[in-house]
Structure 1
Amino acid sequence: MEDEEEFEVMSEVHLGCPPDSHGPHLSRFVISPPLEAESSRFHKLFICESSPSNDQSIALDEDGDLVLPRRRSRFAHSFTLTIQHSITSTLRDVGLQVWKAELVLSDFVLHKMCTSSDFDGTVSLEIGCGTGLVGILLARVAKVVFLTDYGDEILDNCAQNVKINSPLLNPLAVVNVRELDWMGQWPLQNSLSDCKDPKRYSWSSLDLEQVKSATFVYAADVIYKDDLTVALFSKIERLMSMGSKKVLYLALEKRYNFSMDEMEVVANGYACFRRNVREGQEEETKEAKLVGKRIDITEIPQYVKGYERGQDVELWEIRSAS
């Protein structure tokens, strides 16, 4: 029987992409503040000074008739993020795709960036970064961003996205693409890149010192397989205990399947997640070393255009329970 990890899967986000496309595909995401949430900080951060000006001078066409100015497009103050991704992938390579919760987390990050300075000058780390979309946005205001995932193909693709979107990055920001295997030990001292023969995407001693000072951790669409979820939270608990206090913002999508054991449709991945994270008002248990609260995503404006959030995406703010 074919291993389940070899089956092809496709994100809902890619439904409009060419079904027979081979190799990397480029998607361009339009990002702008909703009309009801227009922010001068958004324009300062993302709209270049060369944007069309509000020139009120009188213009005439070739016949001498008055040219009336057109109504400004609702996306006049926007920018485009270009992401290279696969349209389908095997389960083990889902990091090559763009997923819905990744876009919800992007909306949250954009809203925080546009309404506060909380993320300014921070050291941030994204776990299971996939295409790197969230971290690329963060690099507009953060001092150092670590984009971590597993496997050269995913990491190469992420590094390429950082390169494609380099004009968007803060020129003073440092963006590091690093390998983080949830199932393996970390950090491994003998894999540090200040050794004589470093491995690509390996960690340096400086990296680990910076991770200790990180205040924010991010993750999206990383809950899909129980053994990986258990390993993931083991790494998160380790990370949260390093250096300064850290906050994890995690976005996930509940995925339902019919269970022969329960004889009903269940979201097993979500259940595994909840065993590892205790909601604030719940009774403390030994198993849950992390405590979290759900963020109401209906209060977060949609900055990334062209996708439907649906009812099954959740966003959590998670801290160490100790």
Structure 2
Amino acid sequence: MEREDGIQQPLSSEQVMSEVHLGCPPNHSGPHLSHFTISLPPRYENSILRGNTDAVEDMSISASTMFDLDEDGDLILTRRKSKLSSPKKEGFYQELSFVWRAELVLTDFVLHLMSTSSDFDKVVALELGAGTGLVGILLARVAKTVFITDHGDEVLENCEKNVDLNAEIFHGKASVHVRELDWKDSWPPQEENTSPSKGRYSWTQSEIEELKKASLLLAADVIYSDDLTDAFFSILKKLMLDNPEKVLYLAMEKRYNFSLDDLDVVANGYSHFRSYLITEQADDAGCKQLDSASEPFFVGEQIDLRYIPCYVRNYNRGNDVELWKIKLNHKALS
């Protein structure tokens, strides 16, 4: 199993992880330049064609990717490559963190809302477990402030490269900050740890205050181990309590294991994720009803991906990627 920072973790003897990578150049290890093409409908305020997805503009994005091989010679990281006749300057460096299918689905969703509504205009937003920072960087086309966060200097340096490389696509007054956010640390950081002398990715007090105003949280493919899921919802609760109207959009891909206990392929990590949520109706996937005796702190609503166009070209969403809208459960707080 890989963590987001690319470090291999041992599997328990009872479980065998399925292959989750998308495919990448054969027999390749080291830097690799990939290209994206994203097709967008016209911005709603600039065209009477609002809602007409036949009229599109193309955005070219390249990605420098570091491929690593495991001990069997299999590629740990996967990327696809699109042929572009004239790549533009915009791009993404991806060296130690990965772009997964769930992140591309979240990208489609964000681009759809940006192109067809003003919902994300001038918002303060936070991307959790950003990896390459793809979603946060694209959001800076309309948002007021975007905090792109992850854990570890190498991952954050990669995000910073991407921010610098793509600054020209931001709107003129956008502020984009790359910051360290370890979900297992306390939040907010202690005041003595909020100065540039504590590290280039440390928070300032003014940034912490601005983050409290954030209305939009984003995360993709951060659910793949129970410990990580617990840490994620722990920090999410702290962040949302600053502003109970915050909304999280989370894209995830189910991780299937072969369990010797069950003698079957199961998605235990998915069930653990769903145990943190309630929905308006109970189902067979672990979600609880709104009137349950012990109410979770979060309400989840699954978004139907059939209504989200594929703006990112040349990738297959598959059947195991889901997109969730998550908010605080106000009944649990009262």
Q: Fold-level match, TM-score > 0.5?
A: yes
**Aligned position for 1:237:** 237
Contact 2:252–2:321 under 8 Å retained in 1? yes
**Aligned position for 2:254:** 254
Distance in 2 (CA, whole Å) between partners of 1:42 and 1:108 is: 19
**% same residue:** 47
Distance in 2 (CA, whole Å) between partners of 1:317 and 1:78 is: 28
1:111-133 deviation line (CA, Å, top 9, x unaligned): 00011000000000011011000
The 1:172–1:183 alpha-carbon spacing in structure 2 relative to 1, beyond 3 Å, is same
Superposed displacement of residue 172, structure 1? 1.0
Distance in 2 (CA, whole Å) between partners of 1:274 and 1:191 is: 37
- Paired residues for 1:258-277 under 5 Å: 258-277=258-277
Superposed displacement of residue 6, structure 1? 6.8
Deviation beyond 6 Å, 4+ runs, structure 1: none
Does 2:305 match 1:305? no
1:270-291 deviation line (CA, Å, top 9, x unaligned): 1111011122323244362100
Superposed displacement of residue 191, structure 1? 5.4
What letter is aligned with 2:120? F
- The DSSP-based 3-state class of the residue aligned with 1:78 is strand
- The DSSP-based 3-state class of the residue aligned with 2:111 is helix
Distance in 1 (CA, whole Å) between partners of 2:276 and 2:120 is: 26
Does 2:321 match 1:318? no
Distance in 2 (CA, whole Å) between partners of 1:89 and 1:125 is: 32
Contact 1:95–1:129 under 8 Å retained in 2? no
Superposed displacement of residue 143, structure 1? 0.3
Distance in 1 (CA, whole Å) between partners of 2:315 and 2:149 is: 25
Does 2:23 match 1:39? no
The 1:313–1:151 alpha-carbon spacing in structure 2 relative to 1, beyond 3 Å, is same
Superposed displacement of residue 26, structure 1? 3.0
- The DSSP-based 3-state class of the residue aligned with 1:86 is strand
Moved more, 165-174 or 97-106: 165-174
Higher helix share: 1
Q: How many residues align?
A: 283
What is the alpha-carbon root mean square deviation over aligned residues?
2.8
Moved more, 82-91 or 311-320: 82-91
Which structure has the larger Rg over C-alpha atoms?
A: 1
Superposed displacement of residue 317, structure 1? 0.5
1:53-84 deviation line (CA, Å, top 9, x unaligned): xxxxxxxxxxxxxxxxxxxxx99830112333
The equivalent position to 2:29 in structure 1, one of 16, 21, 31, is: 21
Query: What are structure 1's unaligned runs of at least 5 residues?
Result: 45-73
1:24-72 deviation line (CA, Å, top 9, x unaligned): 4332210003xxxx4354988xxxxxxxxxxxxxxxxxxxxxxxxxxxx
Contact 1:27–1:83 under 8 Å retained in 2? yes
**Aligned position for 1:12:** 21
- The DSSP-based 3-state class of the residue aligned with 1:175 is strand
**Aligned position for 2:59:** 79
Distance in 2 (CA, whole Å) between partners of 1:42 and 1:301 is: 19
- Paired residues for 1:1-322 under 5 Å: 5=9, 12-13=21-22, 15-17=23-25, 19-22=27-30, 24-33=31-40, 38-41=41-44, 77-88=57-68, 96-190=97-191, 192-194=193-195, 197-243=197-243, 245-282=245-282, 283-284=289-290, 285=292, 286=294, 288-322=296-330
Contact 1:291–1:319 under 8 Å retained in 2? yes
